[in-house]
Chains A and B, each alone.
Chain A
Amino acid sequence: MSFRVLDLVKPFEPLVPEVIAPQRKVPFNQKVMWTGVTLLIFLVMSEIPLYGIISSDGSDPLIWLRMMLASNRGTLMELGITPIVSASMVFQLLQGTKLIHVDMSNKEDREQFQTAQKLFAMLLAVGQATVYVLTGMYGPPSSLGAGVCLLLVLQLVFAGIIVILLDELLQKGYGLGSGISLFTATNVCEQVMWKAFAPTTSASSKGAEFDGAVVALFHLLGSRKDKKRALLEAFYRQNLPNMLQVLATVLVFFAVVYLQGFRVEIPIKSTRQRGPYAMYPIRLFYTSNTPIMLQSALSSNIFLISQMLFMKWPNNAFVKILGSWGSKGGSSQLYAVSGLSYYIQPPMSLTDAMVDPIKTFVYITFVLGSCAVFSTTWIEISGTSPRDVAKQFKEQGLVIAGHRDTSAYKELKKIIPTAAAFGGVAIGALSVVSDLIGTLGSGTSILLSVTTIYGYYDLAVKEGGFAKSVVSGYTDGI
């Protein structure tokens, strides 16, 4: 056998920390507990501030990604799940394109692949932490001093490794689902709950008002003389989260859950084992939330590059075409004001969308189009295209009931790409709608977390409700 890239990681194998896979199947209750503990560690880490930072104010170039990557500014969770996500994306791509050869049926190969991925994630964490500190995200490095700089990098890397291990813990069967989606969903849920129930108040010239929309509703109703006006204010106030946004979030939540149930069921039967038809479901959200993830990754990368270029060369014509940036309403946060970035940046509100209909039109077309394209592309990359599924059917001796043995591919070709494209458009549309009606948090992040929560619900029904084992411990033991 010739030299393999994967063999390069062999010397590091004993050095990389590893979670040992459970010896036998972990019962559902214990999985719930492990998941809870993991979540608790994650939440605590995203509240612990980094030691030694001078300031973390100033424009945040990553604001578009923060919620999705479960990162929290100025805390141990500054990097969030970025290293894991990037590493797994890169390795999936490498494996999918067969650039590195890995035999997934071989245990040793599989372990080596995972080690390599983990090692890469760690390297990414080190690299990213260094870049963050040295670019002066926590104040100029010269004033921080070398010692503090090193300390900051170490803190970030250490937190990154813990997140990698937590994710591994869940993935290896101790917990439910994957760490990545769990952390993202938690982060989003936390922010939504905070915006709805925050106990903090802001006192402007209108008097003290609650930051949390639901609490504010009670407060305004209780403390204002004119109840109708209080109600209107609670629902429409612009300066802080309002009840309309809370309702919109709830609405989007249920819309996604409803649409998740949409599926085409293809009756299939086995040629080897006669019996009742099985159902092969093709969901409307065939590619789940991948298109919106890819789409937002694309646009946030464009924003990041454009913003950085604009800082350096504000007068360059090409840079200006890509996007020029300005601050809005006194805060230091930058927003695109013209150029390409402006057109793919979501409108801030419904009124914003009305003011510039061309931009709104371009934005909607861009999101829906890119989502559809990403969705249809993704089925090819991830091995869920009609061709792959038909091959799988053939290997397992499955045929579509009521059709000739050979026509499975033709039938699947009719349904899968349509479902993928349409599902991509649907999820893009949902994201646009939730951005326009103004949910608490961006449309993308809400969609991500809802699909994750629904996935967990599915899992709980499957594992917790209808499992076969009558007595826990008995069937497991034998």
Chain B
Amino acid sequence: MASEYKYDEGSDTWPYFVLALLVFFMVPITARWFLRAISSGSSSKAVEGSIPYNHESLQLANSTQIDKVRAQKRAGRVFNRSLVIVVLGWALAAYIWITYAKEVSLTGFFDPYTILDIPYTASEKDIKSRYRKLSLVYHPDKIGKDLTDKVKEEMEAAFIQINLAYKALTDEVTKRNLELYGHPDGQQEVTHGVAIPKFLVEGRYSQLMILLYFVLIGVILPFVVGNWWSNVKATTKRGIHVDTAASFVRRLADKNPAVVYTPYTVLDWILESAEVTALRGDKSVQEIKDLVLSYFKRESTGSDEELTLRVVSELLPLLTGFIEIATVFKVPDVILAAFDLQKAVHQACTPLGKHRELLQLPYVDAKVVEAQSVKKLGKLLTLSDEEAGKVLGISDSKKLKIALDVAKNIPFIRVLDASFKVPGEDYISPNASAHLVVKFLIKSAALKSCPEIDDLRFTEEETIEDLKNPLRSNDLPPQLPAAYAPYFPGLVSNSWEGFIANQSDNKFIEGTESALLRNVELTNLKLTQKEWIEGKEHVVAISTFKVKLPAPVPPTVGDFHFRLFLKNNAYFGTDVDIPVDMEVKAVPIDQEAVKKAAGLDEDDSDSDSDLDISDPEEDSIAGALAALRGQGVKKSSEADDDESDNESVFTDINTDTEDEGED
């Protein structure tokens, strides 16, 4: 582009450029905001097996504060900064369109339709008749003689234009020229402009522009990049603060194996995190801890109620992060303590103690419960309503009904069978990658004893899909409903997490990651005692959970003992801790291969001959390349039947012996 650019003098073009860019950026931003706003609306559906009580239906004392904390979280989705950007952006676009979009008359330029004054859609016939009409007026021969020379000249010029315009619409060459170069006579000198308003470049604003550039490149750009970078560095992939993660790692690395770790230890560690520090303001860590402890006792903290709830809701992501980090350290005791703390946070009850199962129910009187001997939900549900009321310390019959309903609907796991499996094999071979298959029944605490289930119902058919992805069946059942957690400000998704530990050293297996059990059929909760004990197919649903063994099976033959933990994140008493055995057997020797290797099976080798990796043929590219590398090449002309047969018999035997040697 040798020619110089002209700046935009009359504000004809630059608004359009700004407009186009604005729209280009606004469309994705708007779409994102819109999708987010929609997705926040559809989360509270009634799912089978859910416990439909929340802080409102239980009429908790602090439900207004809970609502407030929840609303603050949700408001972030619809009324946030991007809404402001969306509104402002489109307002600016509309303003630019209204102010600057003015129709430019085409009279100054060569536009055949304007010159002939006909609509764009005019047919050829119309064009012709219009041309005739105009030429009757403007043709030099028809011009009235009484006009001045000046007018005459003008009319002549107009006639030339009309002629050109007519030609441009009817003549192929002229039409094409107009299309390609914008002029009927072919390519013309084109002036180039740039859509930057002239007043910004010349005149008194130019100094300002330089300053603006300086600020943009020298100040804003480094600031934005630096900000982005420090943000990236500040949080880990799981969204917890880097300092928090580092302190967790330090705590776990310095862990004293001789000390017993309780949920309160974990709570202390977590309250030191950067996230809680940011929330607590001028309160000390101890004060915050007291607030959390009174939350566990379901006591009101008065004016600090909102702060308490906010701290409590912040504990959850921190706990998840903590558990994940602790998993890397393979230490079961800390993780189990962390899970207890998590449950306590969800149910607002003490994380330790024998009566936790009962204390997680609504309306219970902690002092009454702790003074008596009933500890399990199962035991509680065998009692009559009156006795249960006494045990829980609830006198109101309505409240008692709700509490017992919650107790009945908490899903418990009854493990039927747990065994290791290698896909595609019916035994466990050394070094194989195996997974643990857990067959279990979901039951309500009200259901007594366990039905007899025929072993045949455990067997599964292995399809090719299962062989590809053995854990596929984990995703098939419906998702668990949100957990019952009325005291906790926020929705909680319920799940079990599975871990496998070695019994020999009581540590998790190398490379353990928590296996999430989130999809379970809950229909068993609604069964009557009779249906339950009959255990008919299609009535009592058997669930399956598969946990991948993170490390390969031990390389030696023998018996190995493991321990399976299934930890629920929301309810006390629903955890599983069972021993699992694994018997590793040697791979049986493949009889056929032995036979072949011994050369007893020569008949078969004919069909095998072309299956081996043969040398490339000489006259192909592959052959040429192989020859260059000094590898074997098959002569194409020599590829007679007998010869290749002989050769292949030989190679066949050869390779098979090698194979056996490897095994």
Contacts and interface: CB of A to CB of B under 8 A. Distances in A.
Nearest to B105: A225
Interface in A220-261: 221-226, 228-229, 237-239
Contacts of B625: 96-97, 380-381
Interface string B111-139: 10100000111000000000000000000
Nearest to B621: A380
Contact of A471 (B97, B325, B612): B325
Contacts of A97: 625, 628-629
A212 interface: yes
Contact of B468 (A225, A279, A473): A279
Interface string A451-478: 0000000000000000101111111000
B186 interface: yes
B52 to A, nearest CB: 36
Interface of A: 29, 33, 57, 96-99, 197, 199-210, 212, 214-215, 217-219, 221-226, 228-229, 237-239, 267, 269, 271-277, 279, 329-330, 377, 380-381, 385, 387, 390-391, 394, 397, 401, 404-407, 409-410, 467, 469-475
Interface stretch (B228-236, B354-362, B502-510, B636-644): B228-236
Contacts of A96: 625
Contact of A329 (B104, B180, B629): B180
Interface in B181-199: 181-183, 186-188, 190-196
22 contacts: A197-B21, A199-B196, A201-B194, A206-B182, A212-B20, A215-B17, A217-B20, A218-B23, A219-B13, A225-B105, A226-B119, A238-B179, A267-B467, A276-B468, A277-B424, A329-B186, A330-B186, A330-B187, A406-B611, A406-B652, A470-B324, A475-B328
Given A97-B628, A381-B625, A471-B245, A203 B190 contact: yes
Q: Determine the main DSSP class of A at the interface with B.
A: mixed
Contacts of A387: 613, 616, 622
Contacts of A390: 613
A216 B475 CA distance: 51
Interface string B212-248: 0000000000000000010011001110001001101
A274 B425 CA distance: 8
A57 B21 CA distance: 32
Interface stretch (B385-393, B429-437, B477-485, B569-577): B429-437
A204 B324 CA distance: 66
B106 interface: yes
B325 A267 contact: no
Interface of B: 2, 5, 8, 12-14, 16-17, 19-21, 23-24, 97, 100-106, 108-111, 113, 119-121, 178-183, 186-188, 190-196, 229, 232-233, 236-238, 242, 245-246, 248-249, 324-325, 327-328, 422-425, 429, 431-434, 464, 467-470, 552, 587, 608, 610-613, 616, 621-622, 625, 628-630, 652, 655, 659, 662-663
Contacts, number: 219
A407 B425 CA distance: 21
A223 B5 CA distance: 21
Contact of A98 (B102, B229, B628): B628
Contact of A474 (B12, B249, B464): B249
Q: Point out which of A98, A203, A221 has the most chain B C-beta atoms below 10 A from its C-beta.
A: A203
A206 B183 CA distance: 7
B610 A410 contact: yes
Contact of A222 (B101, B181, B195, B659): B101
A121 to B, nearest CB: 24
Given A239-B180, A329-B187, A387-B613, A200 B195 contact: yes
B194 A205 contact: no
